[in-house]
Amino acid sequence: MRHGYHRRLALLAALAVGSLLAAQPSAAQQGNSVVKLIVPYPPGGATDLLARSLAQELSAKWKRNVIVDNRAGAAGMLGAEAVARSPGDGLTLLVTDATPVVIAPHLPSAQYRFDPLADLAPVALIARQTPVVVVSKDVPANSIGEFIEYVRRNPGVPYASIGAGSSFHIAMEQFQKKSGITMLHVPYKGTGPLLTDLLGGRVKVAMLTLPSVNDFDRSQKLRILGIAGASPARGREEIPVIGQSALPGYQVNLWFGLFASVKTPQSLLDGLNTDVATVLRDPDFVQATLTPQFLVAGSETRNQFRQILKADNVHWSGLIKTYGVKE
């Protein structure tokens, strides 16, 4: 009886410990230290807004402060490097688009003091963006096909980008070559001044994200001709996908991702991925944050995201070399 009693007591103790462990937050991050999500761009942009929404969700999940730290400069290089140089304790993370990871390192003037693919560990593909080709209202074209014909009749039409060497600049260079047209590149320092001139007709076309021009399209101040991504936009299904209509095979894949220092333990990285995946599956988060921005939640494993990074690195490097893109 005494041995049976002790066995039952041991079993109850084990169950109690298991219950306590199960009750712990699933977050890879625990403790009192503040977690920083470094955004390598100024406040107010798409990356910053997404990071702040994610920080709020993770703060609640981890029951600790998660803050956004904006460190702009050098096409995102400064912020990315700060994470690459961090201790690897999971307290300093990077929320960024593809630019500082797989695009900017291949530009002629790149002076990276670290290797993004070697020094940053992929944690999660947070969301995919929806890039679109948009024209000023005085352009006599209602489709990509009509626009291509318009430029053929009027070579040198000015197109705008948010900066020389940006993903949209490179993608529009590819657009020109695949469609056999010639346009004049006019770089801007950000979306704001670009939109001002596009609305005024001083430049005729640009590639931007759908949320930045959706209201202008709805009010007929600008005209969206097509989606440059892989699939239709939920809520704007009437906008044709360029690669499935006028320009077969043309596709621009842009995303937001979460990264940590490569020194971070694998178990911690896996835990972070699990926690972010939980947020991305939350219908409230999708409805409040992703859907209004026409973002599609990522669902990839860390390894799948790593393979995407490798493929994108080759893709963007090839485009920059092929089209002689310079900043």
Segment 135-184, tens digit of pLDDT: 999 999 999 999 999 999 999 999 999 888 889 999 999 999 999 999 99
H or E segment at 97? strand 92-97
Q: Bridge partners of 133? A: 207, 226
Question: What residue ranges define each of the domains in the chain, with the CATH number in brackets?
Answer: 35-129+254-322 (3.40.190.150), 131-244 (3.40.190.10)
Question: What integer is the mean pLDDT of 75-79?
Answer: 88
Per DSSP bridges, beta strands 205-209 and 157-161 are parallel
For the full predicted model, state whether its pTM sits above 0.95: no
Residue 241 DSSP symbol: B
170 Cα distance to chain centroid: 16
For the segment 280-305, the average pLDDT, to the nearest whole number, is 95
Answer whether residue 21 shows pLDDT above 90: no
Which tokens sit at 156? 């040198």
C-alpha distances in angstroms, 196 versus 33, 164, 202, 224?
43, 18, 9, 16
CB 168 within 8 A of CB 195: no
